[in-house]
Amino acid sequence: MRVEQYVLSPGRELTDEEKVLVWQKPLSHKVSEVERRICSEVKRNWDRDEMKIANILLEGDAGSGKTQLAKALSANFRVPYTKVTCFADMDKSDIIGAILPVLSSDRMNELDTADQTALSSLYESDGFQSSTEILIAALGITQEMASVKMRQLLKLASDNAKDEAVEYRFYPSEIVRAFRQGYLLEIQEPNVIRDAAVLMALNSALELDGTINLPMEIVHRHPDFIAVITANRSYAGSRPLNEALRDRIQHTEKMDLPSKEIMIERAMAKTGFRDNEVLDVLADTIILLDKTARANAIKGVAGMRSYFYWADAVARGASARESLYHKVIYKITTDADEIKLLEDALDGQGLMGRLDEVPNELKKNEI
């Protein structure tokens, strides 16, 4: 697959900072049929105005490769990649951004060290990063904690500004930055958002000719902006994807485990372990556990991540049967009755016996 054939805007000049954001495929990346299909569809329709494909939905279980695929699209399209991870209590400031007063040095000195660090980092920013990114880097916190912190800082700065004549600055969200600059934005798990107003703001941004109304200006959607929505099925706290949001999607992929051949190929590339027979039985086990969990409404997932870590452990001498529990089954469930269902399914297909036949100690030259 020639990456150059899918570049969407060959004449676009990226800044040095933007070039860093374009994902670089590792040697272990294997191009899937889904990746080829999305790239072909987006490229074919890119200049067709109302038929343009710029909102993509990847829906599937955890570990099915959604984020890896979103990053691969960044590499193929040569568009900077960024992401936002949604959470239940998101508010409109997480979609748009926030206005903060710039405190005087005297007022700043009255604050505790953490708040001074956070505000100073925001004030010194060059506008390239979003407020969330700035706080994550300055305080070493998660995205959700950064969102909460931004609200606290807004109240703190407003209270401390008092009656002074102060300067106000707007700090955009990561969504606004991607929307304005023309990035590929992965929106992770929007189906956990509880506030309908937040979803309405997000829906507006996903219109092909959409705009975002900021306090200082109206921002129009950059022609290179691509939204890749990634959503887990059967995820705790999630809801069915908002109908209005789903209606704005032009291409959807149902992400499941890849074929066994692709699973083995990816495991070899990821782990360096090249025993095809061992990888084959491990893949059969993962596939059966995945089917059994679905059939019995067990919420956990047997996915590619479990497969990679299990294969890596076996490659380094772990018992295939014993490590099955720590790398796979206990990630699916720790409920005794559900574990029994999974074990019975494996016994019924003879897979427990096959796992017992995998040697515990593997030759060093196999890796």
Q: Give Dmax (Cα) for the chain.
A: 77
The DSSP output letter for 164 is S
pLDDT number for residue 162: 63
Is the Cβ–Cβ distance between 84 and 279 less than 8 Å?
no
pLDDT for 365: 42
* CA distances for 328 relative to 59, 331, 333, 363, angstroms: 22, 5, 9, 24
List, run by run, the mean pLDDT of 10-residue segments along the chain (367 residues).
83 94 88 93 93 94 84 97 90 82 78 84 71 83 83 76 68 90 95 87 88 86 96 63 87 88 89 93 95 87 90 94 96 94 96 88 47
* pLDDT given at position 2: 64
Beta strands 211-213 and 218-220, pairing class: antiparallel
Give the burial class of 207: count Cβ atoms within 10 A of its Cβ; 0-12 exposed, 13-18 middle, 19 or more buried: exposed
The predicted pLDDT at position 134 comes to: 84
pLDDT of res. 308: 93
**Which residue matches tokens 């291409």?**
251
Helix pair 260-271, 304-315: axis angle to 10 deg:
50
The DSSP-derived string for 260-295 is HHHHHHHHHHHH----HHHHHHHHHHHHHHHHHHHH
pLDDT at 363: 45
Kindly report each contact of residues 147-154 with a partner whose C-beta sits within 8 Å and lies 24 or more positions away, as own/partner: 147/87, 147/90, 147/93, 147/94, 149/118, 150/93, 150/98, 151/91, 151/93, 151/98, 153/100, 153/115, 153/118, 153/119, 153/122, 154/93, 154/98, 154/99, 154/100
Q: Residue 161: what pLDDT?
A: 65
Rounded Cα distance between 44 and 40, Å, is 6
pLDDT attached to residue 1? 62
pTM of the model: 0.76
pLDDT for res 165: 56
Amino acid found at 47: D
